[in-house]
Structure 1
Amino acid sequence: MQPSPAEIARTIAAGHLPAVAHIACHPGPVPVRHVTDVQGRPLLLVPTESTLSTALRPQPGNDDTALVLDIRDVPPMSSSPALGRVWVSGWAARLHGDEARSAALDYADTDACGDLLDVGGSQALYRMDVAEVRYERDEHLIEIDPDDYAEASPDPLRAVEFDLIADLADHHVTEMSDYVRRQLGPAARPDDEPRVVRLDRYGFLVRMNGRSARLAFPRPVTDRHDLAHLLHPILCRRCAAA
């Protein structure tokens, strides 16, 4: 089991990674702060007096502005492979009144930053209606159906992936190494030193002397606490011995 392209796209676009916007009629990409709501629609937090705000101003006769949000995955560790890159295309419109207040709450679910208190003043929120989603990894481009993208959910471990991998590396190397060897069976080599390099709801990727292996969890995990419950028998030496 592993994430689908739609799930990976939702994970990369969720708001934990930096993004740039390519905006119609504006030269060059512009850095932008964003998250996505439960439907995968990007919410852009924009200073009202900024180059980005000017670029997002609709052309006469329009209510919204066409743009492409470009987000690259940033691996949690130097040894971790990148998940790839996502382009989300669509139209962004500024939100006002109740819509802006509701969107601010949605934004805070992912990033409860202080600037949300100034929405309607020095800050503005824009919402994108998604028209196209493209996902690229290892020079392979996949077109993702916008409905599949909207129905997928971002990985619940992505925001804490670095902490989880660092904890395994600092405190559970022996237990994880023994577990990986048991899972690989005859495919394990005597000189293997397995190290977890990526983690998601479906399992983890380990590196061993130039080789990689993906090990699946018995079931998808729902959050960090669920993962701890699932890994407890592996990481507890007394439990493993029993």
Structure 2
Amino acid sequence: MQPTPAEVARTLAAGHLPAVAHIACRQGPYPVRHVTDSQGRVLLLAPRNGALTTALRPSEGNDDTALVLDISDVPPVAGAPSLGRVWVAGWAVALTGEQAREAALEYADSDPAPDLLDVGDSQVLHRMEVAEVRYERNGVLVDVDPDDYALAAPDPLRTIEFDLIADLADHHVDEMAGYVRRQLGPAALPGDEPRVVRLDRYGFMVRLGDRLARLAFPRPVTDRHDLAHLLHPVLCHRCTRDSEAETIR
């Protein structure tokens, strides 16, 4: 199992990566601060008198402004493959009143930025309704159905992926290397030193020299605690064998 293009697109667009906006009939691109709400709609937070807010002001006779959000993955560690790049296109509208307050609360669920306290005063929230999603990886471009994108969930491990990989590298190198060799069998060459370089809800990717291998979890994980529970038999392999031996005795 591995993430679908819609799931990767939602993960990349979630707000933890740098993004720029290309706005219709405006010079740019514009750096943006953003998150996505529960439906995958983009929430943009910007100063009221800033360049982005000025560029997003609709032309006469319109209520919204067309734009494309451009987001590229940043691999968590050296030697890790990129998840690719996503373009999310749609129309943005400035929120006011109760809509702005509700959007600020949704924004805070992903990023409790202090500037959210100034929404309605010195800060403005725009919401972009998603009309088109395109995902590219390794030169392959995929059109993602906006409905599939909206229904997909961002990966629950993405924001802590670096911390998880660092913990495995600092404390569980031998256990993980042994597990990888057992799983890969003859495909793991004697000189290989397996190193975890990516983690997601479906499994992890390991670098072995100049090769990459993906190992799947028995089921998708839901959060860090669930991952720890799933990996316990791997990281405590000796404990598991001792327990089995005790049971046999």
Tell me if TM exceeds 0.5: yes
CA distance in 2, matches of 1:14, 1:182: 35
Report the counterpart of residue 154 of structure 2 in structure 1.
Answer: 154
**Structure 2: gaps (5+ residues):** 243-249
Identify the residue that residue 7 of structure 2 maps to in structure 1: 7
For 1:174, the equivalent position in structure 2 comes to 174
Q: For residue 208 of structure 1, what is the aligned residue in structure 2?
A: 208
Q: Which consecutive unaligned segments of at least 5 residues does structure 1 have?
A: none
The corresponding residue for 1:93 is 93
SS at match of 1:3: coil
**Given residue 140 of structure 2, which amino acid in structure 1 is its aligned partner?**
H
2:245 — aligned with what? none
Give the whole-Å Cα distance in 1 for the aligned partners of 2:94 and 2:50: 14
Give SS of 1:130's match.
strand
Aligned twin of 1:120? 120
The CA deviation string for residues 158-194 of structure 1, in whole angstroms up to 9 with x for no partner, is 0000000000001100000000001011212111100
Report the CA distance between 1:237 and its aligned residue: 4.3
The residue aligned with 1:65 is: 65
Shift in Å, 1:78: 1.6
C-alpha root-mean-square deviation of aligned residues, in Å?
Answer: 0.8
Structure 2: how far apart are the matches of 1:184 and 1:52? 50
| TM-score relative to the length of structure 2 | 0.96
- 2:39 and 2:156 map into 1 onto residues whose CA distance is 15
* Residue in 2 that maps onto 1:193: 193
Q: Secondary structure at the match of 2:68?
A: strand
In structure 1, the partner of 2:102 is 102
One-letter code of the match for 1:123? Q
Shift of 1:241: 2.8
Q: For residue 13 of structure 1, what is the amino acid of its counterpart? A: A
CA deviations 1:4-25 (Å, max 9, x no partner) are 0000000000000010000011
The code of the aligned residue for 1:152 comes to A
TM-score, structure 1 as length reference: 0.98
Q: Show CA shifts across 1:104-127 (max 9, x none).
A: 111011100100000001101000
CA deviations over 1:50-98 (Å, ceiling 9, x no partner): 1111100000010000000000100001211110000000000000111
For 2:186, what is the secondary structure of its paired residue?
helix
SS, match of residue 32 in structure 2: strand
Give the match for residue 183 of structure 1: 183
Rounded to whole Å, the distance in 1 between the matches of 2:93 and 2:176 is: 48
Q: Distance in 2 between matches of 1:188 and 1:87?
A: 37
Alignment partners' CA distance in 2, 1:79 and 1:69: 27
What is the aligned partner in structure 2 of residue 222 from structure 1?
Answer: 222
Task: Please tell me whether Structure 1 or Structure 2 has the larger radius of gyration of its CA atoms.
Answer: 2
**Percentage of matched positions with identical amino acids:** 74
How many angstroms does 1:233 deviate by? 1.1
Q: Name the SS of the counterpart of 2:11 in structure 1.
A: helix
**Matched residues, number:** 242
Q: What is residue 235 of structure 1 aligned with on the other side?
A: 235
Measure, in 2, the Cα distance between the counterparts of 1:116 and 1:126. 12
